[in-house]
Each structure stands twice: as structure tokens, then as C-alpha cells.
Structure 1
């Protein structure tokens, strides 16, 4: 099997209600999971999945989920290699689950996920640079250029310095119990 099967939120909910509970694995980052997740989902971040994480549970049916379903689809081969007898991806991920009106555990005190924090910060700094360049001094456009270069570097290398800085901010450390 090289492609992961899909399961709709309604199908998953029906299985959960029938007592046919699959192992629900949320592959998002801890900061995303802390904010909201499907009740009963186990957090196993994609970047931390170990080859032996599921040794005792390989005879179970697994359902992998992320925010939109894209991360799960992109890494399907890696997830399938964990050796489950049957594996599914939640079609549309957590977004589709919520759109179907199904319950989630939501912690309003947890910070928004790190990716969105980066987008807000980078967008805000780029906008500030453009406004300051227009009204104060044209050299402020360098701030916008610097932010754009940083985002391009992050996209090419997978390393985002801004995300690293935001991850150690007090509001993020407190939410993750660090």
C-alpha cells in the first residue's frame, strides 16, 4: 500500500460512536495541538515520529490527522511505513472536522500556532517597513526587503529564525510547559 486511505469526519465520528475506536494520531506541532485538537487524539509530531513509536499498536487501525490534511498527504509514505494493519488520513483534517460541527478540545489560553505567529509578525514588519519608507525615509524599505529575504531563506532551507525566536517567547514556553 503506497497511498493512505481517506476517511471523512462523519465516517470517523461514526466509528468512534460505535466503539470501533481507531488510534487517532495528530501529527501537528505541540503548539498547534495545545490550542485545539480532536478529543482522544494522541499528539505525535511528524518531526518526532520514531520508528518504534507504535510497536505495541500495529494491529490497530490508525487515523492520522493534521490541520488541513495536506501534511498527512505529503508524508503518507512515511506514515504508512509505521506498519499499521490499516491506516487512514482524516480527509480535510481538523478544519473539516470542525466544519462538520464535530467537537474539539479548545484551549483559548493557548497561543495561536507558531506558523501563524510567524505570518503575523513577518507581515506586520513588512507593512511597517513599507509605511515608514513612504512617510519617513525611503531607506526603511530595507526592513521589508530583509523580512522578504528571511521568508525566502526559510522556504528554501527549512530553517526559520523568526520561528525559533517566537518559540522561546514567554507566551509559547508557558503554553507548552517549558
Structure 2
């Protein structure tokens, strides 16, 4: 994980593998800031949707026993949302570098769409 100081607050950038490990251990709250349409097509199981178009950092819990990690499709929107969290008073926030693209590239499991039925389907891919 990389850390960056922004006005006395900490922005962490996690890899997909670090997020997967922490998610499996239930150490983090993973928030997906992509659109509902993107989330419906594919998402990381256990992630909570909070679309960037309506994202309000003040609605996130500042005091929680789990670290908050944000993610999107490529890491751009999640970094913007993370900076908004720091501006809203969070002392530390994290986002996933490379987003959903990095997650898939890493061969990590996700919930996708079964193209034959349109139903959600657990996808287990390997790099």
C-alpha cells in the first residue's frame, strides 16, 4: 500500500490483492463508487454501492472498526471520492489502484452477469 499526506490527512492507495485479502478477513468496508449500471454488470461481492454522482462523504461512518476502501472502474473516481472524504474530515481513507479492471486482471472473483440469462453469476477467473 502506498500512503500520501494531503494537508495532514492520509490517502492510502491499495492494490487489488491487498483489498481482496482485507475483504476476505472482513477488515474493510469496500465501497463501489461506479454507476448502478456498472455495478449491475459486475461487482465485487460484499462491496456497497455509493455512486459518485450522488457521493456524499458525510454519509460515511468516520468511526468504524473496519477501514473504508473505495473503488471504481479504473481508480480515477475512487481517488476523487477519497479526496472528498479527506476534505470532509476523515483522517485516513483508502482507494483501490486500478479499480475493477485491476481486480479482474488479478484473477480475483467477482459477481458478473450470465449473458444467457441476464442473472448474476459468481465469476472465478485467474490471471
**TM class, shorter-chain normalised?**
0.7 to 0.9
Matching of residues 145-160 of structure 1 within 5 Å? none
Q: Which protein shows a greater Rg?
A: 1
- Identify the match of residue 52 of structure 2 among 37, 42, 46: 46
Instruction: After superposition, give the CA deviation of every residue in 1:98-137 in whole Å (9 maximum; x if it has no partner).
Output: 1000011112327xxxxxxxxxxxxxxxxxxxxxxxxxxx
Q: TM-score, normalised by structure 2?
A: 0.72
SS in 2 for 1:63: strand
Structure 1 residue 9 and structure 2 residue 16: aligned?
Answer: yes
Q: How far off is 1:46 after superposition? A: 1.1
3-state SS of 1:4 partner: strand
List structure 1 segments (4+ residues) > 3 angstroms apart after TM superposition.
81-86
Secondary structure at 1:10 match in 2: helix
Contact 2:57–2:85 (CA<8 Å) still a contact in 1?
A: no
Which of residues 93, 97, 103 is equivalent to 2:99? 93
For the Cα contact (< 8 Å) 2:42–2:113, is it kept in 1? yes
Which structure has the highest strand share of the two? 2
How far apart in 1 are the matches of 2:60 and 2:80? 20
- Higher relative CO (Cα under 8 Å, sequence separation at least 6) belongs to 2
RMSD in angstroms over aligned alpha carbons? 2.2
Alignment partner of 2:69: what SS? strand
Name the counterpart of 2:37: 31
Q: What secondary structure, in the 3-state scheme, does the structure 1 residue paired with 2:73 have? A: coil
Mind listing any 5+ residue stretches in structure 2 that lack a counterpart?
A: 120-127
More helix by share: 1
- TM-score scaled to structure 1, two decimals? 0.53
* Distance of aligned partners of 1:15 and 1:58 in 2 relative to their CA distance in 1, 3 Å threshold: same
2:82 touches 2:94 (CA, 8 Å); kept in 1? no
Distance 2:59 2:93 in 1: 15
